[in-house]
Structure 1
Amino acid sequence: MCLRLLLSILVSIAGLACAARIPGPEERIVGGSYIPIEYVPWQVSVQNNSLHCCGGVIYSDRAILTAAHCLSNVTVTDLSVRAGSSYWSKGGQVLKVLKTIAHPKYVPKLYNPYDIAVLILEAPLRLGGTVKKIPLAEQTPVAGTIVLTSGWGYTRENSSFLWPILQGVHVAILNRTDCLKAYKHVNITIDMICADGQRWDTCQGDSGGPLIETTKGGHRQLIGMVSWGDGCGTNPGVYEDIAFFHNWIKYTVKKNIYKSIVKI
């Protein structure tokens, strides 16, 4: 994530932003392995001044979903999205961001409730084999569901170099009781879901990236979005629950894409 907001860092540094990221050589999903973009064609790299800072998910050819904290202290004119490549630094399609819309209840602070945002692109993506939108889940996943997450983030805590190739890892959804036990000092709000963070996890650089479930019918859907966690691979990862935001996402995209078309 453009900061997976490690709590230890957040306590000491307020208002970390995309622009503050300094690339280093060992960033990627913790405990994962290379995953080709063809397998996760909805994954994008959200970039600030052409440097990866967060993950994102293709909702439509003009709309990208990401974490709201990825937009802290950044200028929309500096933002772009790279889609259709397993590499954050080359290949695929690169489009500028026209507008950013964070959830109205999001307030930049520790633990990031309502940590979701929509990016409206200046031009439509060319959808195809390596660039695809993904449907939104309408129900919160049940505990024990095995899900897939991906990104270009750290492979361990306190690393500082962007891993160039996309990584993926499977994690299991935790029940709310276990999540609350792991985070006794944190208010796990109704918009959040947790996934097992023991050995396999997301980390800094993965924020805004997808959490994907494959249904019994073989269809894949977006059930979560990388938000935050205490450490990497040591405690549960916390994700925004897409089912909770389903109606807000649809309304926000429809409203703002119409406005952008009229403006153009």
Structure 2
Amino acid sequence: MCLKLILSLSIAGLVSAAQIPGPEERIVGGHFIPIEYVPWQVSVQIFSNHKCGGVIYSDRAILTAAHCLRDVNITDLSVRAGSSHWSKGGQVLRVLNAIPHPKYLYSDYPYDIAVLILEAPLKLGGAVRKISLAEKTPEDGTITLVSGWGDTLENSSFPWPILHGVHETILNRMECQKIYSSLTKLTNDMICTHGPGRSACRGDSGGPLVEMETRKLIGIVSWGFRCGTAPGVYADVAFFRNWIKYTVQENI
């Protein structure tokens, strides 16, 4: 599906991945997109069931949200890449190691990012491709795309079988903080998106937020409140860029 068609499907959204107070996630207000349009997208699975989204950084390294690893046994984790369906097709590889950011606390939201090391390399090409990391935090108003297999309705608790995506714009952090002031404090490692009626939701956590102009990874789906009604909050990839590169280098 070409960019023109994707945009015509409306600037729809996938805001958060989880809801306060418990990060978890999926896409509200979006539309089906083929994996070929977002070939860096993967499904992170437990016992072959979709748990979270993930992003291909290299043939053996996947980025996801740290909260996706809560109470998870690494030996139960696998990744499916190269398919628009989380339950079939593409390539499935087991996870050898999972490294959450050392400052992440499972009772809180900051530093919600992790690296997964696969037991064998992905076969890159076609519908399986790595994505470049953003060098700087995106400016307010930047048009983005978030994708995943998360819920399409608040509290639906039903992993959507095919991949969805939606467009949102980067929201000024101060404006985002005003909205969440009574719930939590945003930290410098977070960025927000906004798109009324559009957002990530349960099951989308760990998935990619991509800048449309550069096609670079700018965020990892982290958390939000009431899918489609409040800003989505993401781990700022530029903030974590050095940690990502170092962690991958040290573990492969």
Which residue in the other structure is 1:248 paired with? 243
Matches within 5 A, 1:179-198: 179-185=176-182, 186-198=184-196
Please tell me the residue identity of whatever aligns with 1:130.
Answer: A
State the shift of 1:5 in Å.
3.1
**Which amino acid in the other structure matches residue 172 of structure 1?**
T
3-state SS of paired residue (1:141): coil
Unmatched segments (≥5 aa) in structure 2: 1-13
Unaligned residue ranges in structure 1 (runs of 5+): 11-15, 18-26, 258-264
Letter in 1 for 2:143: I
Q: Could you tell me how far 1:4 is from its partner in structure 2?
A: 3.1
1:5 to 18, 28, 44: 18
Alpha-carbon displacement from aligned partner over 1:114-171 (angstroms, at most 9, x marks no partner): 0000000000000011000000001000000010000000111111211100000000
CA distance in 2, matches of 1:28, 1:101: 23
How do residues 153-164 of structure 1 correspond to structure 2 at under 5 angstroms?
153-164=150-161
1:65 aligns with 2:63: yes
* 8 Å contact from structure 2 (residues 28, 152) kept in 1: yes
Cα distance change of structure 1 residues 165 and 231 upon mapping to structure 2, 3 Å threshold = same
SS in 2 for 1:178: helix
Shift of 1:197: 4.4
Contact 1:173 1:194 in 2 (8 A): yes
Structure 1 equivalent of residue 234 of structure 2:
239
Aligned-pair identity in percent equals 68
**Letter aligned with residue 116 of structure 1:** I
Aligned-residue Cα RMSD (Å) equals 1.6
User: Is 1:168 aligned with 2:165?
Assistant: yes
The residue matched to 1:235 in structure 2 has which SS? Answer: coil
* SS, match of residue 249 in structure 2: helix
What corresponds to 1:107 in structure 2? 105
1:43 maps to 41
Structure 2 counterpart of 1:246, one-letter code: R
Equivalenced residue count is 237
Taking the aligned partners of 1:188 and 1:44, their CA distance within structure 2 comes to 27
Hey, what does 1:205 align to over in structure 2?
Answer: 203
Q: Which has the higher contact order (CA 8 A, sep 6+)?
A: 2
Structure 1 residue 28: Cα displacement: 4.7
